[in-house]
């Protein structure tokens, strides 16, 4: 009986500690919180919460700001989270590209940003004709690739300009952007439709579509892209763009985007649960020189 009670109390203590971390990781904890406010939110005695915070601080999970005496999440927690997201992204990306390449019948890739370049993390194609060696690890300028521009969705114009200097505007295709102004115009059009359309920017007769992938912090951490011959993808633009957004949404959800923290029985939620705000696929771009023909269907 005593042993069971001790185990229950120990479990409850761990749950309270995790709840403290959830509070500090929510919107209200962005600037740090004091012991009194945390005790009120947790519904526990101030001295008990103070001891708990000191124990978490000793292990690096929270930090105390000396001047304000407010607590915030610690660097150790961020390091653990970053490692977990990185491992999860790699595993989920491999699974996703294999699934979506079969579903869409085209090459599907997941890319990451490295300076001014996009690096292919995972790649898959449905048949031998589309497969090629060396796709994983390949780099392209952010400016002239669908995945690259999707990775720029949240960047201000001045940040885009700095990254273009790093990655360059060189593109392998005849329609790659040739100036910063040209790139910014295309990027605004991409954001407006909710997905990237890059026609003959990375290669002749090559059409590519891309969508951003977000993690639990709503930060863009990767991008999904689909590429193939323009003559084959253009008639199915609506269906393929829907597939790109679906794949980006699925990978975002796998990384915790849109997830709400678990609720304790009878407790009010600490953070308002939000839906993954992935734009609905729209029709072809009105500025598209090759609009989709009525009656065209899936790939």
Residue-wise pLDDT for 242-258, tens only, equals: 999 999 999 999 888 88
Supply the pTM of this predicted model: 0.62
Nearest to 209 by CA among 188, 250, 178, 238: 238
Q: What is the pLDDT of residue 288?
A: 41
What burial letters (b/e) apply to 208-221, b meaning 16+ CB within 10 Å? bbbbbbbbbeeebb
* Residue 298 CB neighbour total at 10 angstroms: 13
What residue ranges of the chain have pLDDT lower than 50?
1-2, 130, 132-134, 260-299
Q: Who contacts 48 (Cβ-Cβ below 8 Å, separation ≥6)?
A: 39
What value, to the nearest 5°, has the Cα angle with vertex 191 and ends 187 and 195?
A: 100
Q: Is 10 exposed, middle or buried (0-12, 13-18, 19+ CB in 10 A)?
A: exposed
Structure tokens at 243: 């597939």
Q: Is 293 exposed, middle or buried (0-12, 13-18, 19+ CB in 10 A)?
A: exposed
Give the C-alpha separation, 137 to 183, whole Å: 24
Structure tokens at 68: 């304000």
Structure tokens at 182: 């040209």
Give the C-alpha separation, 209 to 233, whole Å: 10
What value, to the nearest 5°, has the Cα angle with vertex 184 and ends 181 and 187?
A: 155
Q: What is the pLDDT of residue 262?
A: 38
């Amino acid at each position: 009986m005593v042993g069971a009670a001790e185990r229950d109390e120990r479990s409850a203590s761990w749950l309270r500690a995790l709840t403290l971390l959830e509070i500090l990781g929510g919107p209200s904890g962005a600037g740090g919180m004091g012991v009194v406010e945390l005790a009120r939110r947790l519904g526990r005695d101030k001295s008990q919460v103070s001891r708990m915070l000191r124990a978490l601080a000793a292990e690096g999970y929270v930090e105390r700001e000396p001047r304000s005496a407010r607590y915030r999440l610690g660097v150790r927690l961020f390091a653990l989270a970053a490692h977990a997201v990185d491992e999860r992204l790699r595993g989920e990306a491999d699974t996703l590209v294999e699934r979506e390449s079969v579903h869409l019948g085209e090459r599907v890739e997941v890319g990451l940003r490295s300076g001014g370049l996009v690096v292919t993390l995972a790649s898959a194609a449905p048949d031998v004709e589309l497969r090629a060696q060396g796709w994983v690890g390949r780099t392209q300028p952010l400016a002239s690739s669908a995945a690259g521009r999707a990775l720029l969705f949240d960047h201000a114009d001045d940040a885009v300009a700095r990254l273009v200097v790093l990655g360059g505007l060189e593109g392998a295709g005849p329609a790659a952007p040739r100036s910063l102004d040209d790139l910014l115009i295309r990027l605004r059009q991409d954001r407006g439709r909710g997905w990237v359309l890059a026609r003959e920017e990375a290669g002749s007769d090559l059409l590519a579509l891309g969508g951003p992938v977000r993690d639990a912090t709503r930060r863009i951490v990767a991008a999904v892209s689909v590429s193939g011959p323009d003559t084959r993808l253009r008639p199915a633009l609506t269906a393929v763009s829907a597939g790109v957004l679906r794949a980006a949404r699925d990978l975002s959800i796998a990384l915790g985007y849109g997830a709400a923290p678990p609720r304790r029985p009878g407790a009010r939620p600490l953070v308002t649960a939000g839906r993954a705000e992935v734009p609905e696929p729209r029709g072809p771009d009105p500025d598209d020189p090759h609009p989709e023909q009525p009656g065209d269907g899936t790939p």
